[in-house]
């Protein structure tokens, strides 16, 4: 129990961030969850199309908003800290999808209607609570402007080089999400006194500068989405892309909301 407390429970209780042990453990759990989700979605014949993302993105933003409310003590349960918030949103999302599939089977209602309603209702409520904290729009506008400029530049350079994989809307969304995350990290650390909590970014930023997140993310994200396009398993490719989107959008939205609140 001392080991569990030190590496898993205490970082959640006291907000000390990640360590190498829980980082590797959570990465292994994420990998297993991805494999199980691929098998489940393939069996249920769920396509990750526009209808899926119409409710998936609100769920991701809901998780980010709830995390901010926990950080600001509007919500007090540690379930809303990482990794609990990811588990909570995943269960809520999957449960809504399964119930939606039952409604489609027995009532003829399109399956995405239920998760769409749950995701948007939850997000509107959470954002209303965040607005009550008095966030300032300036940091968001700056982060979006920087992100858009980098994404547009990368898109132009790749198109000139003969690469068109960013024409895919999901690929473009993944890159945009990670640039937002990099911008939120850059602004939060360099201008508002926030600190990185993840092990590897914290070490790299400590040795260099918060702006290092831009080239670092580009070096990881661009090859990832390029080579995912080579996969023959469409379901696996789509789910991994959705995970990559989540890994950028969830912390990026949470961080920029926090910056807006503390600004």
State how far the Cα of 223 lies from the Cα of 165, in Å rounded to an integer.
11
Tokens of 194: 């926030």
Q: Are 229 and 237 in contact (CB under 8 A)?
A: yes
State how far the Cα of 221 lies from the Cα of 198, in Å rounded to an integer.
17
pLDDT in tens, 167-194: 999 999 999 999 999 999 999 999 988 8
Question: Which pLDDT score, from 0 to 100, does residue 1 have?
Answer: 63
Q: Which of 8-12, 109-113, 125-129 has the lowest mean pLDDT?
A: 8-12
pLDDT at 195 over 90: no
First to last CA, the chain: 39
- Residue partners of 176: CB distance under 8 A and separation at least 6: 147, 148, 151
3-class DSSP assignment, residue 131: helix
H/E stretch holding 218 reads helix 213-228
Tokens of 8: 């898993």
Question: Does the predicted TM-score (pTM) go above 0.85?
Answer: yes
Question: Which pLDDT score, from 0 to 100, does residue 23 have?
Answer: 83
Identify which of 16, 13, 125 has the alpha carbon closest to the alpha carbon of residue 69. Answer: 125
pLDDT in tens, 232-242: 899 999 999 99
7: confidence class by pLDDT, cuts 50, 70, 90:
confident
Identify which of 118, 131, 13 has the alpha carbon closest to the alpha carbon of residue 69. Answer: 131
CA 166 to chain centre: 19
List phi, psi (to 5°) of 171.
Answer: -60, -45
How much of the chain exceeds pLDDT 70, in percent? 100
Average pLDDT of the chain to the nearest whole number: 93
State how far the Cα of 161 lies from the Cα of 178, in Å rounded to an integer.
22
Question: Which residue, chain included where needed, has tokens 């920029």?
Answer: 256
Question: Which residue, chain included where needed, has tokens 């201008």?
Answer: 191
């Amino acid at each position: 129990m001392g080991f569990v407390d030190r590496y898993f429970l205490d970082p959640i209780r006291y907000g000390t961030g990640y360590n190498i042990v829980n980082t590797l453990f959570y990465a292994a759990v994420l990998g297993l969850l991805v494999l199980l989700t691929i098998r489940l979605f393939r069996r249920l014949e769920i396509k990750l199309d526009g209808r899926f993302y119409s409710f998936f993105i609100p769920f991701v933003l809901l998780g980010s908003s709830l995390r901010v409310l926990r950080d600001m003590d509007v919500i007090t349960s540690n379930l809303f800290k990482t990794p609990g918030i990811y588990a909570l949103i995943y269960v809520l999302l999957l449960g809504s999808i399964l119930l939606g599939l039952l409604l489609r089977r027995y009532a003829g209602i399109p399956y995405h209607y239920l998760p769409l309603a749950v995701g948007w209702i939850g997000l509107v409520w959470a954002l209303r609570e965040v607005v009550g904290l008095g966030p300032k729009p300036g940091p968001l506008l700056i982060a979006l402007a920087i992100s858009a400029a980098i994404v547009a530049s990368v898109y132009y350079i790749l198109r000139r080089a003969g690469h068109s994989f960013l024409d895919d809307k999901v690929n473009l969304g993944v890159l945009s999400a990670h640039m937002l995350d990099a911008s939120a990290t850059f602004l939060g650390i360099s201008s508002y006194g926030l600190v990185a909590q993840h092990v590897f970014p914290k070490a790299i930023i400590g040795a260099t500068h918060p702006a290092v997140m831009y080239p670092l993310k580009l070096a990881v994200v661009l090859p990832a989405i390029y080579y995912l396009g080579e996969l023959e398993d469409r379901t696996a490719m789509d789910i991994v892309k959705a995970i990559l989107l989540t890994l950028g959008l969830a912390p990026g939205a949470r961080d920029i909301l926090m910056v807006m609140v503390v600004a």
